[in-house]
Amino acid sequence: MRVHGPSREHLDAEGEAFAELVMRGVEQALRVTVKDLKATWTGDDLAVITRVFDRFTVTDLLPFLAASYLEAQTAQRERLLGTVLTAATMAVPAPATSLAEEYLATASNRLKGFGSVVWEDARKELLTGMEKGESIPQLRKRVMQVTGVSKARGTMIARTEVIGAQNRGSLNSMTAAGMPGEKSWLSTRDHLTRETHRNAHGQIRKLLVSQGDTHFTVGGVSMDGPHDPSAPPRETINCRCTLIYELDEQAATQAVEDGAWEELDEDAAVRRWMQNAPSTMKGYNDSTLRYLIQEEQRKGLVTYAKGDHTVKIMKPGPLVKAKVKRLFATVDELLRDAPPHPGRKVDILVGATGSTKRYRIFGTTALGSHEIVIDRGLLMKNQGPDYFSPVGFMPAARTTDPLVYTLTHEWGHALTPLDGISLTGNRAMRRVWRNNDFAFGKYGRSSVHEGYAEAFAEWYLTRGLTTNAAAKAYAREFGWRLLRWLSAPPRPARRSWTRPNCPPSNC
């Protein structure tokens, strides 16, 4: 069962985009430097170059790399789900965030090191110009020419880093899934490929450490894949290699069965309803409940269950099967990464028809339930990113599948502290909502409840890498954390304090 890694075409496109961004940072650093250039300057005064480029690294370059890493991780997961899934769903864990943080930390050091290279090139140019007695305009022009001098090396570094982010995100996503299999080294077979990588082409190793040897031998160096952070620069710089994965078909099928939501027949659905029925249903007898469940089944609803949570969905036809798989995978992710408050169960109905509103939610703390109702139209393939008005919703709504966005938004309501759980959270949420009104779309501005859900969806779907002010403010306030890199630390919990009733000498 073959699963491909990122394509060469995609790696090349990412490399070109990041190289352009890196050189933009170089140009910005040089422009700031020459702005105040004076005849009395020396080469050592060019330290401003490294300061500006380091700041650009943090504000622009690392977010690009983090987004590229996340995109590769998500895309690889989609390829895995599309290849393997034969049952309703399976849980495919996301890689540990520490792996992303480790990669981005090393990338940060390498990129900042390039700022020192630019500084050295500019220093040489400035000293040469001063020795020739050039004027200030001539010196400024000479320093700005460093952009061209550094372009070749900057492009090489940029391509290395972003292709590394893609390869590491892809590999980490596959190993996190935990399916036994093998990985094959795939090198680019052209005149630019170094000999050691050409020789590594076709090497096969185990995918999981528990299976055996997972490291390739490349130029006498042990590497778990292209751009292994522990490998020397001679084997990683400008590397364009990638991996192909061959999964154990029997193990993959077993993983699907183990991770699938259980489809409930009539008897199982009745037993479950009797156990979990809300107080309003306590007087219903077995025959009445059975009739209600038979009515659901007659309308084409199929009920799946996992733990305390259920998903009811219209029977998936060939046109919506991929959407159904994506729905279950998203529910599994949300249950793992953003579980509802303890004691609350989530019930999702996809396939609402008739007078049911397109998006409707019912949640009551007293019953400990949270029901999400989604219109069946969101399962149809003809719904694209333009389904959501650019004015009405947050940015992530226009780059995410409408079904996934709607589910994530409604999930935010299950997490809200506004339902009486916390008075402090209630006040905090209202304050954050008021202070960030301008950052919401029309829907998020309609109420504090919707603002919270919109901010959560924006933050969660971008894995914390959003630039939206409202989503970032909520993340800081409530300590939302998925990818720790580049996200602000959570604010400490507020504590109410009352002065003790005791003499001052003892206080």
Percent of the chain with pLDDT over 90: 6
Q: What is the pTM of this model?
A: 0.61
Residues 83, 231 within the same domain = yes
Whether residue 278 lies inside any domain: the answer is yes
DSSP state of 339: P
Among 230, 253, 276, identify where a domain stops.
Answer: 253
Separation in Å, CA 309 to CA 48, 261, 292: 56, 10, 19
Tell me the mean pLDDT in the region 433-441.
87
Domain count, the chain: 2
Task: Report the 10 Å Cβ neighbour count for 493.
Answer: 7
| Higher per-residue confidence, 30 vs 485 | 30
The answer for 420, left when phi > 0, alpha when psi is -120 to 50, beta otherwise, is left
- By CB neighbour count within 10 A (0-12 exposed, 13-18 middle, 19+ buried), where does 83 fall? middle
- pLDDT tens figures, 233-256: 888 888 888 899 988 877 777 666
Q: How confident is the model at residue 176 (pLDDT cuts 50, 70, 90)?
A: confident
Residues 199, 283 within the same domain = no
Residues 431, 392 within the same domain = yes
Among 193, 219, 253, identify where a domain stops.
Answer: 253
| Higher per-residue confidence, 71 vs 352 | 71
- pLDDT tens figures, 23-76: 888 888 888 877 766 655 655 567 788 888 888 888 888 888 888 888 888 788
Residues 129, 73 within the same domain = yes
Whether residue 485 lies inside any domain: the answer is no
Q: Tell me the two tokens of residue 352.
A: 């609402």
Among 253, 285, 304, identify where a domain stops.
Answer: 253
Q: How confident is the model at residue 278 (pLDDT cuts 50, 70, 90)?
A: low
- The CA distance from 364 to 237, in Å, is 56
Residues 329, 472 within the same domain = yes
Whether residue 244 lies inside any domain: the answer is yes
pLDDT at res. 284:
59
Percent of the chain with pLDDT over 70: 76
Separation in Å, CA 440 to CA 195, 405, 409, 466: 53, 15, 13, 13
- List all residues 6 or more positions away from 392 whose beta carbon is below 8 Å from its beta carbon: 441, 442, 443
- pLDDT tens figures, 85-133: 543 445 555 565 666 777 777 788 788 788 888 877 877 777 777 777 7
- pLDDT tens figures, 222-231: 999 998 888 8
* Nearest Cα residue to 255 out of 179, 181, 174, 307: 179
pLDDT at res. 268:
80
272 half-sphere exposure, CB direction, 13 A CA radius: 20
Average pLDDT along the chain:
75
Residues 471, 381 within the same domain = yes
Whether residue 501 lies inside any domain: the answer is no
Whether residue 75 lies inside any domain: the answer is yes
Residue 507 has pLDDT above 50, yes or no: no
**Which residues form the domain of 164?**
2-253
User: Collapsing DSSP states into helix, strand and coil, what is residue 95?
Assistant: coil
Residues 178, 295 within the same domain = no
| Higher per-residue confidence, 6 vs 98 | 6
Residues 392, 284 within the same domain = yes
Residues 313, 217 within the same domain = no
Tell me the mean pLDDT in the region 380-399.
73
347, 310 Cβ separation under 8 angstroms:
yes
Whether residue 494 lies inside any domain: the answer is no
Whether residue 450 lies inside any domain: the answer is yes
* Nearest Cα residue to 444 out of 388, 402, 493: 388
| Higher per-residue confidence, 490 vs 93 | 93
Whether residue 414 lies inside any domain: the answer is yes
